[in-house]
Structure 1
Amino acid sequence: MPYVEVTLPVNADRSQIYPILKDMEKYPEFMADLVSVEVIERKDNTTITKWVSNVDGRIIKWTELDNFDDTNMHISYKQTEGDLKKFQGEWILTPIAGGTEIKLTVDFEFGIPMIAGLLNPILKRKVRDNSMNMLTAIKERMENRA
């Protein structure tokens, strides 16, 4: 099963970054690969969100359960239904000198064993690129605020 982990330092405190990460509905405004994110249900420290992403002209859709740990400024997510057999991960914010390191992990499985060996390396690269694009978009949003 492919696993992707990307990190990026951002010149901002994690208390400034965390609210941006929690506001997933606004991701498509500054993340080019996302078509839409819709909150279906919100209760306590969880949301159920419906996602539509465009990866190289291919539309990928899924619904996920998002868990928010406000004390530790940590988000975990897990697909409940969608185009992949497995899709889960977490956002981790670690204080560093001069700001915060953002880490995004994605653990996924395509779900067709006969072609997984062929497609998983391609999908892993696409997921890594997409994940880094998300971190870069957050970095630019945080560091270019006036």
Structure 2
Amino acid sequence: MRSLELKLQSYAADADLAYRRITEFEKYPEFVDEVRSVVVHGNARDEPLVSEWDILFRNGPLRWSEVDYLQPELRRIVFEQTAGDFDVFRGSWRVEPLAGGCEVTFEVTFDFGIPSLAGVLEPIATKVLKEAIATIVHRLLGEAHVVGDPATAMAVTARLAVRPEPDAALSA
């Protein structure tokens, strides 16, 4: 089982705007090639959402459904897989205000359920997750900088240079 935490800071969006944009899961495929589709069921008012994810991982599909508990008053999202390719996939998003911007924290614990391949698959999945999440947050907010993880920061900078920013109308 592997856990990771990724922190990003943005001065292009306040915490409330950042939280609202992060909850727009269905837009994630617009920002990174690894996310092929996200289908969201339900509304975010008083009930949890259910989202269905289709991701490209190691040249093949990785699919799961998760329940997403939105807590707008805390600017927090808690999620857990309900069915799919992981044995365990659960985590959270948190958005905190900063002077002139916000800090976004993404945490996840996952397990593919294949102990003999964990040493190979989990480090690759960790790298892919960090880079994809950081790129998505950057594009959702207009800019974001990885905190405390220089390797991920450099990889995201390279990704952004290769694939230009999407049309601003997509993020509005």
Q: Is TM (by shorter chain) over 0.5?
A: yes
Residue 112 of structure 1 aligns with which residue? 114
1:30 aligns with 2:31: yes
Gaps of 5+ in 2: 145-167
Alignment of 1:78-97 (within 5 A): 78-97=80-99
Q: State the alpha-carbon separation in 2 of the partners of residues 45 and 21 from structure 1.
A: 18
Gaps of 5+ in 1: none
- State the Cα distance separating 1:40 from its structure 2 match: 3.1
* SS of residue paired to 1:101: strand
- State the Cα distance separating 1:100 from its structure 2 match: 0.2
Cα RMSD of the aligned pairs, angstroms, is 2.2
Q: State the alpha-carbon separation in 2 of the partners of residues 62 and 90 from structure 1.
A: 16
Match of 2:77 among 75, 78, 81: 75
Q: State the alpha-carbon separation in 2 of the partners of residues 63 and 131 from structure 1.
A: 18
Residue 39 of structure 1 aligns with which residue? 40
Q: State the alpha-carbon separation in 2 of the partners of residues 4 and 95 from structure 1.
A: 22
Residue 5 of structure 2 aligns with which residue? 5
Indicate if the aligned counterparts of 1:25 and 1:37 stay in contact, CA closer than 8 A.
yes
Q: 1:29 to 1:121 in 2, by over 3 A?
A: closer
Indicate if the aligned counterparts of 2:66 and 2:79 stay in contact, CA closer than 8 A.
yes
Indicate if the aligned counterparts of 1:47 and 1:65 stay in contact, CA closer than 8 A.
yes
Indicate if the aligned counterparts of 2:21 and 2:141 stay in contact, CA closer than 8 A.
no
More strand as a share of residues: 1
Q: State the alpha-carbon separation in 2 of the partners of residues 24 and 122 from structure 1.
A: 23
Q: State the alpha-carbon separation in 2 of the partners of residues 111 and 103 from structure 1.
A: 26
Residue 18 of structure 1 aligns with which residue? 19
Alignment of 1:114-129 (within 5 A): 114-129=116-131
Q: State the alpha-carbon separation in 2 of the partners of residues 90 and 131 from structure 1.
A: 12
* SS of residue paired to 2:113: coil
1:130 aligns with 2:116: no
User: What's the TM-score once normalised by structure 1's chain length?
Assistant: 0.86
Q: Quick one: percent identity of the two aligned structures?
A: 31
Indicate if the aligned counterparts of 1:31 and 1:137 stay in contact, CA closer than 8 A.
no
Indicate if the aligned counterparts of 1:45 and 1:69 stay in contact, CA closer than 8 A.
no
- State the Cα distance separating 1:134 from its structure 2 match: 2.4
User: What's the TM-score once normalised by structure 2's chain length?
Assistant: 0.74
- Which region of structure 1 is more displaced relative to structure 2, 118-127 or 83-92? 118-127
- State the Cα distance separating 1:71 from its structure 2 match: 0.8
- State the Cα distance separating 1:141 from its structure 2 match: 6.7
